[in-house]
Amino acid sequence: MQILLSHGYFIKEDIKEQKIMRPYPPLGLLYISAWLKKQEIAHDLVDSTFLLKVELKAKIQYLKPDLIALYTNLMTKVNIIEIIHFIRSQPEMANTVIVLGGPDVRYNDKDYLNNGADILVVGEGEQTMLEIVKTFETIDKPYLGHIKGIVFKDEKGEITKTAERPKLRNIDELPFPNREAISIQKYLDTWKTFHGMNAMSVSTQRGCPYTCRWCSTAVYGQSYRRRSPEKVVDELVYIKEKWNPDSIWFVDDVFTVSHKWLKAFRDEVVKRDAMIPFECITRADRMKPEVIQMLKEAGAFRVWIGAESGSQKIIDAMDRRVDVHHVRDMIRQTRKEGIQAGTFIMLGYPGETEEDIMETIHHLKSSNPDHFTITIAYPIKGTGLFQEVEAIQTKDIDWANSSDRDRDFQRTYSRKYYDYAVRRVVSEVNYHKQSLAKQQWSWEGIKWMGKIWRAKLGMWVYR
């Protein structure tokens, strides 16, 4: 049986991603590939990252897979739908089984199935994908009801959801992602060209025990399962010997959940000379001076400390369960220890006022992180935020040609207001940073001041 794994991220066709130019290999697919390889299941994997859509379609047409598994998320959904429609338009692939997995399928099952998918893998994919493959190897058109963790249409066209598949308890059983199946060097070279240093990604845990209302837990659930420090360092040693990247990005939601695990990881890294400079994400309530020191000793050069707002009222509405003053302290202390600090900001959350935005500006000026990213809140289906604003969404979206990012709802002010609010936050914080650095009058300061006043005017016009 011809099996193909792929996804729908095309950096050459995404203007926004080209500006960022920070591509990472599709770890989820590489884990699926490694699991199949471990079971001696032959398959192909086509990495779409550096391809055009027409090139991926040509590869699919050439391979004519009996079964194709595609990873989809809110960023790649529109591309995936186009690929599905392409496969369905080819007579020679009329019997190709299309399997989809990823965070977007759980709460959009009907739409994906109605757009040509045959099977949706809900939750973790390794065990489910293996069972799907083995089922189709033995029977041409099998009934799928015995496979846990999937959604499909039965012979009557009725949508059928099977029982939830239990989560893999011991994730040390997972083999390393099958990075040999793709060209890692293309990623390293791209990073080096655009950023002067390259990076690779590593996962140490699955799930997140926290309850932030805007965050999706559609794949791994509200759980916390972690690979042993020894296994993670085994992978770092392997990566270091084979590719020797300049840095590692740990993709975990909260890297410092367990201080006991972090200490053991630090000790193992030092003992085995496995240090690769890394960056990670964490929460302020899982940070303290001893934790910052352990991160530094393990090789952290940048730590992203989430807050999403400088207003405690909005943080509480998000169910973030952190104190904004502690967030500021941890950003400052992280920087004091010589580690770069980054943070995330979200504007336009339900109930946010201009006063809250001003508190966010104060928060960023006061904590002075090295980096911050800023977005306007959007409701992802299946989250608490989506449920909160579902009844006050302001427009219907064309599902197959849009994503959750295109959803909007009744906010305190108009959507355009928040566009200007983003510009104001960025301009005010950068003006503050420039003032701290220069400590004197400069043309750069005048430039930022002009942007601040234009943003203020826009907020006044559209509020």
Q: Side by side, which strands form the sheet with 119-121?
A: 44-45, 3-6, 67-71, 97-101, 119-121, 150-153, 159-161
pLDDT surpassing 80 at residue 131: yes
Flag whether pLDDT at 102 surpasses 70: yes
pLDDT at site 129:
98
Kindly list the distances between the CA atom of residue 454 and the CA atoms of 129, 280, 373, 451, in Å, as whole numbers in the listed order: 53, 35, 21, 5
Average pLDDT over all residues of the chain: 95
Ordered domains of the chain (ranges, CATH)? 3-161 (3.40.50.2300), 166-374 (3.20.20.70)
The rounded distance, in Å, linking the Cα atoms of 156 and 220 is 31
Q: What is the pTM of this model?
A: 0.95
The tokens describing 427, both together, are 């301009």
CA dist 444 → 368, 373, 439, 449 (Å): 18, 21, 12, 9
Distance CA 88, CA 106 (A): 22
User: Please, which pLDDT band fits residue 396 given cuts at 50, 70 and 90?
Assistant: confident
In residues, how long is the chain?
463
Q: What is the mean pLDDT of residues 389-414?
A: 93
Q: Would you say residue 223 has pLDDT above 90?
A: no
AA identity, residue 213 = R
Tell me which of 132-146, 241-255, 402-416 is least confident: 132-146
- Flag whether pLDDT at 160 surpasses 70: yes
User: Residue 239: which pLDDT band, with cuts at 50, 70 and 90?
Assistant: very high
Average the pLDDT over 320-340 and give the result.
97
CA distance to 24, 69, 270, 293, 428, per residue, from 125 (Å): 19, 10, 33, 36, 44
**What mean pLDDT is predicted for residues 212-234?**
94
The answer, yes or no, to whether residue 143 has pLDDT greater than 90, is: no
Under the banding of pLDDT at 50, 70 and 90, the label for residue 439 is low
**pLDDT-based confidence at 138, cuts 50/70/90?**
confident
% of the chain surpassing 70 pLDDT: 99
User: Does pLDDT of 225 surpass 80?
Assistant: yes
pLDDT tens digits along 266-283: 999 999 999 999 999 999
